[in-house]
Structure 1
Amino acid sequence: MSNFLSYTQENHVVTLTMLDAERRNPLTGNSVVDEFLSAITRIQNDTSVRAVIITGADPAFSTGGDIKTMQKQADPEVNVATIREDYRTGIQRLPLALFNLDVPVIAAVNGPAIGAGLDLACMCDIRIASEKAKFAESFVKLGIIPGDGGAWLLPRVIGLARASEMTFTAEIIDAQRALEYGLVSRVVAHDQLMSAARELAERIAVHPPYAMRMTKKLIREGIHGRLDSVLELSAVFQAVAHKTDEHREAVSAFLEKRPPNFNK
């Protein structure tokens, strides 16, 4: 990886850390999208990876778009078609890639997650917050809209009414309010955030990896699919699952009252 994103793997868990702490880990005006996509492709193709943690170098998770990039886009010489294409070939590739990644992803939100930073957290399957975390869907404050998919993501995480309130007011909420909203599943002391995320990732990683990837795929399909379509896909996935070595190992381990071994 290059300078913005670090990729580390310990056993079956990969941690992706945004490293531009001085600029609060911006998601535009740099190589972030290409680096994330490279990491996501690597994870998708590596069957040894069973869980992913995304976090930021302190003091922020990510404060979203780079203001200087926005200033350039407002230049009268930059036309609308160019900006539209920049979004389509830039930041908008990230939610699609994370949505289609079969491996479960945990956002360890260590500080402010603002604008696109909040949306990045919502692209993950699970969010854990440090007590120092803050959240805002703040695009309207800058006279822009959630161009990275936030209008689709946030309502599916916290519901339409609360997502509308956060988006229309652009107000910052703290970690405890985020917990009340269901935006995060827990709040922990700042110095315990990564150990809590790691513990959760390891609880995920002990399970059969192929079944886990198919399970996440089904959950994602269920967000927008009809019940009959998801049931049909479930039947296909289940037929495949019954024929895997990991299913045979799981059943044998259960009957023999021993821990399963999915590293064969």
Structure 2
Amino acid sequence: MRRRNVPKPSIAAVQGKCIAGGLMLCWPCDLIVAAENAEFSDPVVHMGIGGVEYHGHTWELGPRREKEILFTGRAVTAEEAEQAGMVNRVVSLDELDSAAMELAWQIARMPPFGLRQAKRAVNQTLDVQGFYAAVQSVFDIHETGHGNALSVSGYPILTQLEDMKEHIRKPGGG
């Protein structure tokens, strides 16, 4: 949350696979520019954990899409992320750095006080809608997931699907 609330605008430039912790690095940024090859995923359910330290998922992708992502472990393409409003723009990999820098230069020309106030206004609006409380609450779910994984497998994450096979029911009751 500290990174999210830094007074100056921040921009993430994402290419390739952005997995779990990578999401926690780009989501607190104010703007995200993604290369066409960017894919966003969070395999926490594979590890037997239902939440993460910075659970921006529902806010970033919406509840239905995020449930699908978490339940299946599939990745979101850069195009899907843009359609959901998670990234601001998608550019070719060759243009990623220049597109992010051009956006940064455009923002840098704005009055600093106005930028700080605009960022604060948006972040406070999200918090009034429950963002901060949701992130804190899901962190508790995350910690409970580690405790469960430890009790099931002896490790703070489930390391293999085999660790959970007794909990998986096959279609038809098998």
Task: Identify whether the pair has TM-score above 0.5, normalized to the shorter chain.
Answer: yes
In structure 1, the gaps of 5 or more residues are: 1-95, 227-264
- 1:186 is matched with 89
Residue 31 of structure 2: which of 120, 126, 129 is its match?
A: 126
CA RMSD of the aligned region, Å? 1.5
Does 1:201 pair with 2:114? no
Residue 225 of structure 1: which of 97, 104, 128 is its match?
A: 128
Aligned residues: 129
Q: Which has the higher contact order (CA 8 A, sep 6+)?
A: 2
> 2:32 and 2:75 mapped to 1: Cα distance?
17
Structure 1, residues 90-130: CA drift from partner, whole Å, max 9, x if none?
Answer: xxxxxx21122111111100221111212322111111111
Are 1:116 and 1:146, in contact at CA under 8 Å, matched by a contact in 2? Answer: no
> 2:50 and 2:81 mapped to 1: Cα distance?
21
Aligned-pair identity in percent equals 36
What TM-score, normalized by structure 1, do the two folds share? Answer: 0.46
Compare CA radii of gyration and give the structure with the larger one. Answer: 1
- 2:4 is matched with 99
- 1:170 is matched with 73
- Return the offset for 1:216: 0.5
Are 1:106 and 1:124, in contact at CA under 8 Å, matched by a contact in 2? Answer: yes
- 2:54 is matched with 149
What TM-score, normalized by structure 2, do the two folds share? Answer: 0.69
> 1:146 and 1:203 mapped to 2: Cα distance?
36
> 2:114 and 2:29 mapped to 1: Cα distance?
19
